[in-house]
């Protein structure tokens, strides 16, 4: 699950990390109150920041929601200094409009929340990222003096400017590694010491929060030599949700693909793609293999869908409903290997789905494994117009042909 900047910063702040703090709001009626509150804490310079689940906001463009080709203002994040009226005018242009950045696609994302934060005078910007490096089973901390800009560009053009330190998760970040990062960034004196504390706490936060990505771009050295997280991007590892019941409140379904949200509610693993062959498969590996073979046969998968090992007729029906809600879907391939899940149950699910949903596209079915023969009988006697297949290649070919 991805978090908004203001949510990520609030979690980091609780763990003792110095962040550019502020107040989030979803309606301009709260603007004056937010400023008054910040002023009461001694803050007199402001930055106004759009909150969407995408980066590159600073260089993004705000378009009118009701008139998508009209630019309202350039930039989805702006430093306003102490000019409260200017900040208010700008904030009013963000809320309810569409922010397009290099990460959102041209349809952009609606700004439903803005963050009014403390404006900081910046001496230098850095990049810090922590994530899992699966190839070595370690966490990797990446740091660069090229902060604020797209790290992808730095990685591509000047990879030597990214310093990497691999942390063994069972040992944790060692002090020599923290120093290696500080030296690599060219830090000295008090800033050096502050950075060591900052990165140590940040690594702890990555572990404690069960994050799969923690990115601070930029981390800044302020004019008064403080080390501050100016931006924060956190992705929480969904596999650890059971340890963090409170994370449920952080979910913003507006930011997620509606079909994926619905699938989650039915315990289905669904990821929307942009092809036209809907896939219903059990097991993530088989689902990947199925997608590959559809591609090989000249088709293009519309989704990844793993119905899981305990598929019931209801699961299958919900799977159908979700696949068919995508209007790009022109054919469906059901590929089930009956191991734990029994093929006859899946067959009954297909029949139940066909009764309750109007299935208007060709459906190719391949059921193998436990009770496959019974399943075939059930489907053959159902009177439904299904195309059956025995091997996976055959299934992929038949579904691609059915598109013609």
The residues annotated with a catalytic role in the active site are 127, 215
Per rule CB under 5 A, count of chain residues that contact Mn ion: 2
Q: Which tokens go with 115? A: 């963050």
CB of 38 vs ligand GDP, minimal distance in Å: 12
| b/e map 321-334, b = 16+ CB within 10 Å | bbbbebeebbbbbb
Query: Does residue 218 interact with ligand GDP by CB under 6 A?
Result: yes
The reply on whether position 129 binds ligand GDP by CB under 6 A is no
Give yes or no for residue 92 binding ligand GDP (CB under 6 A).
no
Q: Which is nearer to ligand GDP, 53 or 342 (CB)?
A: 53
Query: Per CB under 6 A, does 22 bind ligand GDP?
Result: no
Query: 299 and 403 in contact (C-beta within 8 Å)?
Result: yes
DSSP-assigned states of every residue in 230-273: ---EEEE-GGGGGG-GGGGGG--GGGS-HHHHHHHHTT-EEEE-
Among 4, 9, 53, 57, binds ligand GDP (CB under 6 A): 57
- Torsion (CA) 76, 77, 81, 85 in degrees, nearest 10: 30
- What is d(CA 353, CA 359) in angstroms, rounded to the nearest whole number? 8
Cα 276 to Cα 299: distance, rounded to the nearest angstrom: 8
> With CB under 5 A as the contact rule, which of the stretches 21-29, 41-49, 229-237, 310-318 interacts with Mn ion?
229-237
For residue 18, the SS3 value is coil
Least Å distance, CB 240 to ligand GDP, is: 26
**Residue 47 engages ligand GDP in binding (rule: CB under 6 A):** yes
Give me the least distance between CB of 168 and Mn ion, in Å please. Answer: 29
User: Quick one: what does residue 122 bind among Mn ion, ligand GDP, none, with the CB cut-off 5 to 8 Å set by partner type?
Assistant: ligand GDP
- Give how many residues touch ligand GDP by CB under 6 A: 18
DSSP symbols for 281-305: ESSHHHHHHHHHHHHHTT--BSEEE
The contact set with ligand GDP (CB under 6 A) reads 20, 47, 49, 55-58, 77, 79, 119-120, 122, 125, 148, 217-218, 230-231
């Amino acid at each position: 699950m991805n978090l908004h900047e203001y949510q990520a910063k609030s979690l980091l702040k609780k763990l003792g990390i110095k962040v550019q703090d502020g107040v989030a709001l979803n309606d301009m009626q709260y603007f004056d109150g937010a400023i008054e509150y910040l002023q009461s804490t001694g803050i007199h310079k402001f930055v106004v920041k759009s909150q969407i689940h995408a980066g590159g906001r600073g260089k993004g463009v705000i378009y009118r929601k009701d008139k998508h080709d009209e630019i309202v203002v350039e930039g989805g994040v702006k430093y306003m200094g102490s000019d409260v009226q200017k900040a208010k005018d700008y904030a009013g242009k963000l809320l309810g409009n569409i922010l397009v950045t290099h990460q959102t696609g041209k349809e952009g994302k609606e700004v439903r929340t803005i963050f009014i934060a403390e404006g900081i005078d910046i001496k230098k910007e850095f990049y810090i990222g922590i994530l899992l490096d699966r190839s070595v089973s370690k966490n990797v901390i990446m740091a660069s003096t090229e902060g604020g800009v797209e790290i992808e560009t730095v990685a591509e053009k000047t990879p030597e400017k990214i310093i990497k330190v691999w942390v063994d998760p069972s040992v944790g970040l060692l002090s020599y590694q923290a120093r290696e990062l500080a030296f690599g960034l060219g830090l000295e004196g008090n800033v050096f010491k502050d950075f060591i504390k900052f990165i140590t706490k940040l690594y702890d936060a990555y572990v404690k929060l069960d994050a799969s990505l923690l990115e601070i771009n930029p981390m800044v050295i302020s004019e008064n030599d403080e080390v501050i997280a100016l931006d924060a991007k956190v992705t929480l590892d969904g596999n650890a949700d059971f340890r963090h019941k409170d994370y449920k409140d952080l979910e913003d379904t507006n930011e997620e693909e509606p079909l994926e949200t619905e699938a989650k509610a039915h315990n289905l693993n669904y990821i929307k793609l942009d092809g036209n062959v809907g896939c219903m498969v059990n097991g993530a590996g088989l689902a990947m293999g199925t997608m590959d073979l559809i591609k090989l046969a000249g088709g293009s998968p519309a989704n990844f869908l793993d119905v899981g090992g305990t598929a019931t007729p209801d699961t299958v029906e919900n799977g159908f409903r979700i696949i068919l809600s995508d209007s790009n879907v022109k054919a469906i391939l059901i590929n089930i290997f009956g191991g734990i899940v029994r093929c006859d149950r899946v067959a009954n699910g297909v029949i139940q789905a066909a009764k309750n949903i109007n299935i208007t596209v060709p459906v190719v079915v391949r059921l193998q494994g436990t009770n496959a023969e019974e399943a075939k009988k059930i489907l053959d006697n159902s009177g439904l117009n299904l195309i059956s297949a025995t091997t996976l290649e055959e299934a992929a070919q038949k579904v691609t042909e059915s598109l013609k």
